[in-house]
Homo-oligomer: A and B are copies of this chain.
């Protein structure tokens, strides 16, 4: 079942279980999705203020959907890593299969971090220009999306530790550094 179709209490029970998925990567994506929904609320309450809130609302909706999908994709990517490790030692291409799975499992949380940074930016704009009666909601959105960013990056880093392709690793680190330059992001 897709995570978005689950009841909140059931998702939390799955999360707390010994099963490796869902784990930190999926919750980081969900934190980003909650932040995107909060931005949606603030933009709806600010629509009469400025024309551009309609566009921000659409962007926030899109990001919310993408982050919800990323929560599922994170679980699937991690399951493929475990499957690769379970391949018989003597099977040809085993190491390549593991490396490929690890690379994918680092790309999914990087995307979660990228989308969450996009939410941080929208929330920052809402804090400055949005309906000031909803400013605390916009600020909470920054907090949650920031947690989505740093949480997702923890998952990128843990996978990079086992990735042997140093060029891939350097490129990923560069992308992470670029993300952290967002000014509305809280200090890590």
Contact = CB atoms under 8 A, between A and B. Distances in A.
Nearest to A152: B140
Contacts of A38: 15-16, 23-24, 27
B147 A31 contact: yes
A96 interface: no
B7 A34 contact: no
A118 B24 CA distance: 19
Q: Is the interface of A mostly helix, strand, loop or mixed?
A: helix
Contacts of A137: 23-24
Contacts of A30: 8, 34
A146 to B, nearest CB: 7
Given A147-B144, A188-B186, A31 B33 contact: no
Interface residues of A, number: 55
Contact of A5 (B7, B45, B140, B150): B7
Interface stretch (A87-95, A153-161, A164-172, A173-181): A153-161
B33 A12 contact: yes
A23 to B, nearest CB: 5
A154 B60 CA distance: 21
A18 B53 CA distance: 13
Contacts of A45: 18
Interface in A1-34: 3-9, 11-13, 15-18, 23-25, 27-28, 30-31, 33-34
B140 A64 contact: no
A56 to B, nearest CB: 12
Nearest to A30: B34
Contacts of A143: 28, 31, 146-147, 150-151, 154
